[in-house]
Amino acid sequence: MTYCVAIKLNAGLVFLSDSRTNAGLDQISTFRKMIVYEKPGDRFMVLLSAGNLSISQSVREILQIEQLKEHEDSDPITIWNARSMFDAARVLGSTIRHVYDRDAASLKQAGVEFNVSLIFGGQIEGEGMRLFQVYSAGNFIEATPETPYFQIGESKYGKPVLDRVISPTTPLDEAAKCALVSMDSTLKSNLSVGLPLDLVIYEANAFQTDKVVCIDENNPYFRMLHGSWGQKLREVFDSIEDPMWAGEKTDVPLMAQTGRSQPLKKISTPQEKLI
């Protein structure tokens, strides 16, 4: 399984992915699910992948040379000459369809579904940062101020903290911390997601970054975060009052008069026969 998350902020972009791939309980391997495409001073793009490993590896390699031709007399568009991230995302969609046309029929005959999910984001000179989630059909959606992050893979465990913390104005380092907490929650609840992690932080209008790190079990910051997050959660949990019924000494009784119906409850009588 996989967990990848990308966050778009006013200050920049955060990308995080795990590296565990499994094809059964006895076939667990480590494969990178993040690749950075960078041309300093001109463009910076990151691709995160989930789904069938052979498909995602084909997509990310072909993406570097895929050409999208609009008209017979127009120059082909690639990720290296696209003038917008939208056009670069269209090239990625074309790449997925290319791989589908080449491999889908054979995969189907072997009983394998054509399954790939991608997050693609970055910045090209002349426009702002953009972030897309791309599907198996090659279509995509774009992040908005209301939805400033995307997840692919095993997303449910890490979503609550992102919903509570992330907004477009969140500072980059705080967003990176939130992404790592989101990943830690997923690692705790799902063994099919695993270390090492790849983390990239991109500052707006830089068109390159040196904030790239591979995080393993010996990383001091991640070890600190893992221990602190569990401890702080326990402390907050313990600080919340236990539920108490009406009549007990509490300012916040569990049972209170409301307009809602009472739970359905059936009381047996001596006359009723057991079935």
CA distances for 140 relative to 42, 53, 60, 86, angstroms: 24, 20, 16, 10
Domains (ranges, CATH) in the chain?
A: 3-234 (3.60.20.10)
Is the CB of residue 4 less than 8 Å from the CB of residue 196? no
The pair of structure tokens assigned to 157 is 């465990």
pLDDT at residue number 24: 54
At 273, the pLDDT band (50, 70, 90 cuts) reads: low
* 46-74 per-position pLDDT tens digit: 999 999 999 999 999 999 999 998 877 78
At 26, the pLDDT band (50, 70, 90 cuts) reads: low
Is the CB of residue 159 less than 8 Å from the CB of residue 186? no
pLDDT at residue number 248: 86
* 109-165 per-position pLDDT tens digit: 999 999 999 999 999 999 999 999 999 999 999 999 999 999 999 999 999 999 999
Does the pLDDT value for residue 258 go beyond 80? no
